[in-house]
Amino acid sequence: MEPIDIVGKTKEDASLPKATMTKIIKEMLPPDVRVARDTQDLLIECCVEFINLISSESNEVCGREDRRTIAPEHVLKALEVLGFGEYIEEVYAAYEQHKHETMDTVRGVKCTNGAEMTEEEALAEQQRMFAEARARMNGVAPVAKQPEVEPSTEADS
């Protein structure tokens, strides 16, 4: 039987995908450095705790404003309150990029006939987004997506 936390969810419910996190950990380190499995687990637990900390503080910020929905500005304020102000610019940039990509998806760039992404497409998209986040974290500008060229009617003019 799995341990249950105070809100009734199992530890596994409040975790991050181990395979993806392990891959990120390995990619962040030099190729000659190995990480013990228990160290990987500890790093993943630290990430989960960080997310819980930011979520909890964001909820408190939201509550102080008598709001019921946590908004991006609540998360940014939580980062500041908790002493992570140096991350605000990076987090905001990631949020803006996410908004831009979401708008592309809503406009139909990724959706055809109302069908959702396959598991393989979702995994590939997740890996691409992780790679972009790592590039931003390492101070490398991500390669901009090339806009899709639609058939033009300029030749007809």
> Which DSSP category does 113 fall into?
T
Residue 51 pLDDT greater than 50, yes or no:
yes
Tell me which long-range contacts 147-152 makes (C-beta under 8 A, separation of at least 24).
148/109
Say what percent of the chain tops pLDDT 90. 50
Please write the tens of the pLDDT for every residue from 102-151.
887 666 544 454 457 788 888 888 888 888 888 877 776 555 554 444 44
Supply φ then ψ for residue 139, to 5 degrees.
80, 20
Q: Is 97 exposed, middle or buried (0-12, 13-18, 19+ CB in 10 A)?
A: middle
Flag whether the pTM goes above 0.85.
Answer: no
- Answer whether 10's CB lies under 8 Å from 4's CB: yes
Q: What is the mean pLDDT of the chain?
A: 80
What are 72's two structure tokens?
A: 């991006």
Residue labelled with tokens 């819980």: 52
> Which DSSP category does 112 fall into?
B
Please write the tens of the pLDDT for every residue from 62-87.
999 999 999 999 999 999 999 999 99
